[in-house]
Amino acid sequence: MSCSLVPFAHFQDLELARDFLSPQRRPGSAAAGKESGKSTSWEDGGWGAWDEAELQEPEEEESNSKNQRNYWLQDCVLSLSPTNDLMVIANEQKAVFLVPKWKHSDKGKEEMQYAVGWSGSLNVEEGECVSSVLCVPLASQKRSSTGRPDWTCIVVGFTSGYVRFYTESGVLLLAQLLNEDPVLQLKCRTYEIPRHPGVTEQNEELSILYPAAIVTIDGFSLFQSLRACRNQVARAAASGNENVQPPPLAYKKWGLQDVDMIVDHASIGIMTLCPFDQMKTASNIGGYHAAIKNSPPAMSQYVTVGANPFTGFFFALEGSSQPLLSHVALAVASKLTSALFNAASGWLGWKSKHEEEPVQKQKPKVEPATPLAVRFGLPDSRRHGERICLSPCNTLAAVTDEFGRVILLDVTRGLAVRMWKGYRDAEVGWIQTVEDLQERETEKMDSSPFGNAQGPSRVAQFLVIYAPRRGIL
C-alpha cells in the first residue's frame, strides 16, 4: 500500500536555533574546524596518518563538516505539543521554543511556519543538563472556551533530578526535586471517556521515570498548582510585591526493585482483576494458604523496558501508599524577595564585602520511595529494550530492542503477541481511526432491510513503524 504525505508545516530560520543550541557546529567555528580538520600533534598520528590526511580531498572535508552540521538534531531533546501550537528543542542547558505562524509562501498560498518564540538557558543548578522535555496543553476554564487549550506548560527534566515547569515565554513557574538521580523520561496521560461499560476510568497524571524509581503526579493537583503559579507570576509582573504560595503537589513515589536496568516505561492506569485472575495472582504470590479478599482490589499498572527482565510488569495496590505532599519551590517569589532585600541593603548601606559572597544553597528534602517489586516479566538475558509505546486503548504496547526487533505486547495478559525483525533504530507509534456512521448505515441498508439500529462508532487501531535505515514508513 502506498500513500502521499502532505506537508503540515515548515521551519523558519532553523539555522538560528542550531547556532544557539550547538554553537560548535556553526559554519566556520573553531570547534567545527577541529572536528573536520587534520590532526596536528605528533603523538596522535603516525606517518600513515599524514599520508591519509594528504590524500583527503577538500570536497570530502566539506561534506564531512556539512554532515556534522545537519545531524545536530540527533543530539537534542524534542517535544511537540499535541495541539501543534508549540515545539521545544533543547540541548544541554539551552532550549528554543518554536511557535507556529501563518505566512504567505512564494507560491502565493498560506502555510504554517514554526518560528523562534523564545530562547535561553534553563539550568539553575551548576552542571545540570536537560534530559527530557514534555509539552502539556492545559484546558481553559472560561465559559466561552471551556475545554479548549488555554496555554501550554513546558515540563523539563534535568540530570540533577529536578523537574521544572515553564510558560511559553520561558518563565519558571515551579520546581521540584523528586529524586537525586537523573530524569530519564516524562510522560503524560489525559482523561478519556471510557468507550465500553466496565472499563475503569483513567484520570490525568504526569509520570516521571528515574533509573530506579517512578513518580506519578496527580493531574488535578498539578493543574491547580500550575494555575496558581501562573496567576502569581502575572500579579508579580504587574505589582512586584505580591507573594502567593501555591498549593503543594500530591505525588506518589515507587522504588522499582528486582530490575537491572530501566530505560523507558508506560503507565497503564488503574485496573481491577476478575475474581479468577485475583485468585490466581494471590496463589502465585502467597501460595496455597494465601488470603483472598471478597472484592478484587484496584491496582495501578506500570510496564518498564530495559534489561533483566527485558520487560517488567509492576502492580501498585491503590491505598497501599499515601500521596506525598511536598511544597513546591516557587522561583518567582524567592527571586522577588531576594531582589528587594538586596536593593534595600544597598540603599541603607548594610552590605559589606563579606556579605556579598554567595551563600551555599540548601538542597530540599527528598522523600523516600515506597518499595515496589516486579511481579513478572519477559526474561531475556541478551535482549535490551529501548522504547515502549502504549496504544490509545491501553491494551497493547509496541516495544523496540537493540536487536532491531519490534515486539507487540498484550499488556493485560503480559504476553508477547508478535515480533517483527529487521527494524533497527525503529520509531513506533499508534494511529486511531473512528468509523463513519453514515457509511455504516448505507452498508446495513444494502445488506439487510432490518439493519436500522445505530450503535456507537467503532474504533480501529494501527501500529505505525518507521525504519530510518530503509526510509520506510
Residue 95 in domain? no
- Our count of domains for the chain comes to 3
* pLDDT for residue 366 is more than 50: yes
Q: Is the pLDDT of residue 339 over 50?
A: no
Same domain flag for 317 and 172: yes
- Give residue 130's pLDDT: 94
Residue 134 lies in a domain: no
Domain with 33, as residue range(s), is: 23-71
pLDDT digits (tens, 9 = 90+) for 227-282: 888 888 888 777 776 565 666 788 899 999 999 999 999 999 888 888 888 888 88
**377 and 266 both lie in a single domain:** yes
The residues near 188 (Cβ < 8 Å, ≥ 6 apart) are 134, 136, 155, 204, 205, 206, 207
280 assigned to some structural domain: yes
Q: What is the pLDDT of residue 344?
A: 44
CA distances from 117 to 90, 99, 101, 170, 393 (A): 14, 6, 10, 9, 35
Q: Choose the final residue of a domain: 71, 100, 127.
A: 71
Whether residues 242 and 271 share a domain: the answer is yes
Q: For the segment 128-164, what is each residue's pLDDT rounded down to a tens digit? A: 999 999 999 998 877 776 667 889 999 999 999 999 9
pLDDT tens profile 292-318: 888 888 889 999 999 999 999 999 988
Q: Which of 381, 406, 436 is the last residue of a domain?
A: 381
Domain identity same for 246 and 203? yes
Domain co-membership, 279 together with 177: yes
86 or 443, which is more confident: 86
Lowest mean pLDDT among 49-63, 192-206, 312-326: 49-63
- pTM for the predicted model, two decimal places: 0.79
Cβ-contact 99, 117 below 8 angstroms: yes
Asked if 376 and 400 sit in the same domain, the reply is: no
How high is the pLDDT of residue 372? 93
Q: Does residue 12 lie within any of the structural domains? A: no
Specify whether 354 is located in the same domain as 305: yes
Residues 321 and 388 in one domain: no
Element (H, E) at 101: strand 94-104
Mean pLDDT of the chain: 80
Both 402 and 376 in one domain: the answer is: no
CA distance 17 to 8: 20
Do 464 and 425 share a domain, yes or no?
yes
106, part of any domain:
no
Identify whether residues 336 and 398 lie together within a single domain: no
Q: Which amino acid is at 49?
A: A
Residue with the bigger pLDDT between 314 and 319: it is 314
Q: Within a domain: residue 116?
A: no
CB 317 within 8 A of CB 156: no
Secondary structure class of 192 (helix, strand, coil): strand
Q: Please report which confidence band the pLDDT of residue 374 belongs to, taking 50, 70 and 90 as the band edges.
A: very high
80 is a domain residue: no
How confident is the model over 71-103, as pLDDT tens digits?
Answer: 788 889 999 999 888 999 999 899 999 999 888
Quick check: is 194 in a domain?
Answer: yes
Q: What pLDDT, on the 0 to 100 scale, is given for residue 331? A: 45
More confidently predicted of 452 and 125? 125
466 with 399, same domain: the answer is yes
Cα 205 from Cα 151, distance rounded (Å): 18
CA distance 121 to 100: 21
Report the share of the chain in percent with pLDDT over 70.
74
Domain final residue, candidates 381, 411, 430: 381
% residues pLDDT > 90 (the chain): 34
The sheet carrying 10-11 orders its strands as 10-11, 110-121, 94-104, 87-91, 77-80
